[in-house]
Chains A and B, each alone.
Chain A
Amino acid sequence: MAGRRAALKAVDWAAFAERVPPNQRAMFNALKTRNDALTARLAALPEKPPAIDWAFYKANVAKAGMVDEFQKKFSALKVPEPVDTQTAKIDAQEKETAKSTAEYIQASKARIAQYEQELQKLKSMIPFEQMTYEDLSEAFPETKLNKEKYPYWPHKSIADL
């Protein structure tokens, strides 16, 4: 089971900060401040509380058996460890984001392929000086004049002139 000593993974904040997009800066800063606050709090607390000097108390406390009783109860006492409810959620979140990220990257790659294709088309175009209007309509279909819809010159709606 995940014991107390769940090792803290070193997070490279510099590299992390590089990858944060500008619109999520605020969230990142909040996370970082939280992390820093927790680290400071943890560092301020000693790992083990200091040991109680039973001999001194046994010598000084007059009430019979009180110190012994305390000592017995103290050593028998087991402080419950706080239950970890969030790590499972975080793992689930991570899996989900892994999936959505994969999808996003897929879509992104498709977009890149599309852009590359258009780029290729533009780059392999014949120079404008050697084009005819027909060639232009082929290369840029949006400039093609619709002669069926507008049979009379200028073959497009007057508003588009």
Chain B
Amino acid sequence: MLSRLVLRAAPAALRALPPPVAVGVLHTTRTLHTTQQSLAPVPPLPEKGGEVRHGLIPEEFFQFLYPKTGVTGPYMLGTGLLLYLLSKEIYVVNHETAAAACILTVIVYAIKKFGPDVAAFADKLNEEKMATALAMKNEAVQSLQTAIEDEKKEQWRAEGRSYLFDAKRNNVAMLLEANYRERLLMVYNEVKKRLDYQVAMQTLKRQKEQDHMIQWVERNVVQSITPQQQKESIAKCILDLKALSKSAHAVV
């Protein structure tokens, strides 16, 4: 009888169900397709699913019953339901029950013991994939930025072409100027050389004439000294020497 009451109360309670509301630790339930526009970009899916107690019953159920029955309400309901099913033999205990109990025990134990490790391993695999993808993306961004930098640098370089042409023109101008000056200098040198040659020729001629003259005079003078004159001059020299030697003796 109590069961029929519960069964009848259920739909009324369900109709009075308030719209899902963010409560404390619960994740917000997504309000999908409430407006005409769709959200863009689509908000990311939640990382974890809704919270459950004992792996089966969602937390919302407990929160739903809390105002009326307090903390122990759902548990009482659960126990009552279970006892009702067992006592009325709506659920019959047979060999499959034993099998189910053993299997479930083993499964739950295995999951509780090895679950986190397996999860960590799977997460690591995923992480690696993400890391590679992210690394590639960063590399691509980096290379694009350097490419942009390089292009800008090349543009800046190309602007410096005026220097090149100025240098070239300078070279040409300098070459021309140097050439012209060399020509002037050459003319000057040539003219000077010729004039100097003339002057040098003249001085040489004069010198030769002078030397020849002196030699001729000397030769004639030597020739004109007769033997008689030679003897006389030698005797005079001896007398002079004697006089000099006398005076020298006296000084000493």
Residue on B with the closest CB to A28?
B164
Is the CB–CB distance between B174 and A39 below 8 Å?
yes
Verify A19–B157 contact, CB threshold 8 A. Answer: yes
Q: How many angstroms from the CA of A63 to the CA of B202 in the assembled complex? A: 9
Cβ of B236 under 8 Å from chain A: no
* Also in contact, A16 and B163, with CB within 8 A (given A9-B169, A38-B171, A45-B182): yes
Which residues of chain B have C-beta atoms less than 8 A from A12's C-beta? 163
B residues within 8 A CB of A90? 165, 168-169, 172
Which of A4, A34, A66 contacts B198, CB < 8 Å? A66
B85 partner residues in chain A, CB cutoff 8 A: none
A6 to B172 Cα, complex, angstroms? 10
> A149: which B residues are within 8 A, CB to CB?
none
Contacting residue for B170 out of A8, A49, A79, CB 8 A? A8
Assembly CA distance A123 to B200 (angstroms): 92
Q: Contacts A112-B152, A122-B140 given: A8-B184 contact, CB under 8 Å? A: no
Which of chain B's residues have a CB closer than 8 A to the CB of A108? 151, 154-155
Closest to A54 in B: B195
CB nearest to B158 among chain A residues: A101
9-residue interface stretch from B58-66, B130-138, B207-215:
B130-138
CB within 8 Å of A: which B144-179 residues: 144-145, 147-148, 151-152, 154-179
A57-76, CB < 8 A from B: 57, 60-63, 66-67, 70, 74
- Give 5 closest A-B pairs by Cβ, nearest first: A19-B160, A49-B188, A16-B163, A130-B44, A45-B181
